[in-house]
């Protein structure tokens, strides 16, 4: 049972373009939504995260948009660069007395062409 | 501050054997989580340890087990290895608090079962 659905599986964008990755969740107990970036041979690294009390969070070229009623959230990468080429994972976590369990989407492989 | 370290980085085992993987969290981090990453299933939560106690467990068979030591270092063990256990095993550490905290991932241990 996949609790976080991520799309698309792969994405090709030209340098300077906007990359958009979407995720949808089912469990209304989720209340923390991070995005991770993973380069080949490396572990995932936190990119940006949001909690449901805000609808948007921006950090540099990266923006999370959150729609609580639709149970959807998305990552926008503005002015995409070849160095952004990596696999991106959305995740969600329920608040269970501080438990750190993360449920991940299947990932999106982003390729930014120069 | 040094990041999360995992040893060994690569491991080749045969079916039926057992394996122990090690994780040293970031200094001061007391929560350690383990994840299995495969191309087909993506990132899946194995278990989380805090203060030497397993606080949460994913849907994996009992062949997968772990423990945490008083210095927060953690080990996971897989007994009676199967071909399907071939994966990247990732460890993540965090400062547990009232809300979910950022999980910092190590580079992973790549296990190949022949």
The predicted-structure confidence for A3-19, as pLDDT tens digits, reads as follows: 899 999 999 999 999 99
Q: Of B98 and A105, which is predicted with more confidence?
A: A105
Contact (CB, 8 A) for B87 and B111: yes
B98 vs A89, A98, A101: nearest CB: A98
Contact (CB, 8 A) for A62 and A75: yes
To the nearest whole number, what is the mean pLDDT of chain B? 92
pLDDT given at position A11: 97
Q: A30-60, pLDDT tens digit by residue?
A: 888 999 999 998 999 999 999 888 999 999 9
- Report the alpha-carbon angle A8-A68-A112, nearest 5: 25
Residue B96 has pLDDT above 90, yes or no: no
* Residue length of chain B: 114
Q: How far apart are CA A104 and CA B38, in angstroms?
A: 12
Q: B2-12, pLDDT tens digit by residue?
A: 899 999 999 99
Q: What 8-state DSSP symbol labels residue A83?
A: G
pLDDT given at position B98: 52
- Report the alpha-carbon angle A92-A48-A87, nearest 5: 80
Q: How far apart are CA B107 and CA B104, in angstroms?
A: 10
Query: Token pair for residue B71?
Result: 């210095």
Q: What residues of A are in the B interface, CB distance below 8 Å?
A: 32, 34, 36, 41-46, 49, 51, 89, 91, 93, 95-96, 98-107
pLDDT given at position A95: 66
pLDDT given at position A53: 87
Residue A94 has pLDDT above 90, yes or no: no
Q: What's phi and psi for B99, nearest 5 deg?
A: -110, 165
Residue A1 has pLDDT above 60, yes or no: no
Handedness of CA A51, A56, A58, A63 (dihedral sign): positive
Residue B85 has pLDDT above 70, yes or no: yes
Q: Determine the distance in angstroms separating the CA of A42 from the nearest CA of chain B, rounded to an integer.
A: 5
- DSSP character string of A29-70: TEEEEEEEEE-TTS--EEEEEE-TT-SEEEETTEEEEEETTT
pLDDT given at position B97: 61
Residue A97 has pLDDT above 60, yes or no: no
How confident is the model over A56-71, as a mean pLDDT? 95
Q: B11-62, pLDDT tens digit by residue?
A: 999 999 999 999 999 998 989 999 999 998 899 999 999 989 998 889 999 9
Q: Which of A31, A101, A107 to mutate to probe the B interface, most B CBs <10 Å?
A: A101
How confident is the model over A100-114, as a mean pLDDT? 92
B107/A46 touch (CB, cutoff 8 Å), yes or no? no
pLDDT given at position A25: 95
């Amino acid at each position: 049972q996949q609790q976080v659905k991520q799309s698309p599986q792969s994405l090709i964008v030209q340098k300077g373009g906007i990359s958009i990755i979407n995720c949808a969740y089912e469990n209304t107990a989720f209340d923390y939504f991070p995005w991770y970036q993973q380069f080949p041979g490396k572990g995932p690294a936190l990119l940006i995260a949001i909690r449901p009390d805000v609808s948007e969070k921006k950090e540099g070229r990266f923006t999370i948009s959150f729609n609580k009623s639709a149970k959807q959230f998305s990552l926008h990468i503005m002015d995409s660069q070849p160095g952004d080429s990596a696999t991106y994972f959305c995740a969600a976590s329920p608040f269970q007395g501080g438990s750190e369990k993360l449920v991940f989407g299947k990932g999106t492989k982003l390729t930014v062409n120069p | 501050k040094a990041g999360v370290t995992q040893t060994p980085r690569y491991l080749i085992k045969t079916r039926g054997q057992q394996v122990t993987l090690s994780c040293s969290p970031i200094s001061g981090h007391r929560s350690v989580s383990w994840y299995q990453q495969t191309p087909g299933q993506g990132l899946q939560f194995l278990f989380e340890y805090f203060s030497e106690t397993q606080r949460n467990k994913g849907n994996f068979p009992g062949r997968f087990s772990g423990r945490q030591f008083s210095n927060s270092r953690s080990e996971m063990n897989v007994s009676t290895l199967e071909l399907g256990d071939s994966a990247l095993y990732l460890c993540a550490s965090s400062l547990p608090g009232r809300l979910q905290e950022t999980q910092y991932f190590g580079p992973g241990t790549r296990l190949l079962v022949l």
